[in-house]
Amino acid sequence: MSESNNYGDDDNGTGATSSHPAKRPPKQARTGLKSTGVRKAASKSARSRAREFALQALYQHLVGGNAPEAIDAFTRDLAGFHKADSVHYDALLHGSIKMAADMDALITPLLDRKMAEISPIEHAVMWIGVYEFQHCLDVPWRVVLNECIELAKEFGGTDGHKYVNAVLNGLAPRLRAAEVAADKGAAAAAATAPSDAAAPEGGEDAQA
C-alpha cells in the first residue's frame, strides 16, 4: 500500500490545514463516487472495498440526510459491491451513523475550523478512521490510518489526505494508546540499536 509512512506526518494532529473541495464533486449516481484512480482495483482487498462503499454511503448521509436503510439499499446495488466485505461495510455504515455525535466530539477539538466547513468526504473518512480505531481492534492502527489516507486521496480534495492524516494521527495515541506506545517504543529501540552495535570497544576517550 502506498504512503505507508504517512503516520509520521503532523504527529501532534493539530494545526491541520483544511483541504480543497473535492476535485470531482460526488453525485448520487448509480456508479457511486468517482475515483481518481490512485489505487488499482485489482490491488484492493475486500475490506478496502468495504471502506470505499461505506464512504459513499456516509457521504450520502452527510449531504442528503437520507435514512440509513435507504442509503444501504442504494449502496448495495452499486456495481462491484459483491467484491466488498459486506460485514465490515455494514459495521462502518451503521456504526458510524449511530456513533456520529460521539465521534464528532473527538474530532472537533483537532480541527482548525467548524465541522460544517469540512468537506463531507474528509468528514466521512475521519468517521471511518475513528470507528475502526475504537471498534475494529483486529485492524492495526497504522493500517486504519493508511487506509483512510488512501480513501481521502482517491475521493477527496487535493490535500484532503493531509488533513485526515493529521486528525487521525492526533487521535490514535488516545484511542489506541497501548498499541501506539508499543509501536513507537519498538521503532525508537530499532533506531538506536545500530549505533550501539557499531560502537568500538574503547574509543579515543579510553586512551590514556
CATH at residue 130: 1.10.940.10
Task: Examine residue 100 and state whether it is found in any structural domain, yes or no.
Answer: yes
Q: pTM surpassing 0.95?
A: no
Give 204 or 52, the one with higher predicted confidence: 52
If pLDDT is split at 50, 70 and 90, which confidence band does 20 have?
A: very low
Q: Is residue 207 part of a domain?
A: no
Report whether pLDDT(195) > 90.
Answer: no
Q: What tens digit of pLDDT does each residue of 107-123 get?
A: 999 998 899 899 999 99
Quote the pLDDT of residue 93: 97
Give the Cα separation of 155 and 15 in Å (integer): 23
Question: Does the structure show a pLDDT above 70 at 171?
Answer: yes
Give me the pLDDT at residue 29, please: 43
**pLDDT range class, residue 42, cuts 50, 70, 90:** low
Q: What is the mean pLDDT of the chain?
A: 81
Domain for residue 62, yes or no? yes
17 falls within a domain? no
Total domains in the chain come to 1
In-domain check, residue 109: yes
Domain that holds residue 165: 45-186
Whether 200 is covered by a domain: the verdict is: no
- The answer to the question of residue 25 being in a domain is no
Higher pLDDT, 157 or 105: 105
Q: Is residue 16 part of a domain?
A: no
**What is residue 41's predicted lDDT score, i.e. its pLDDT?**
60
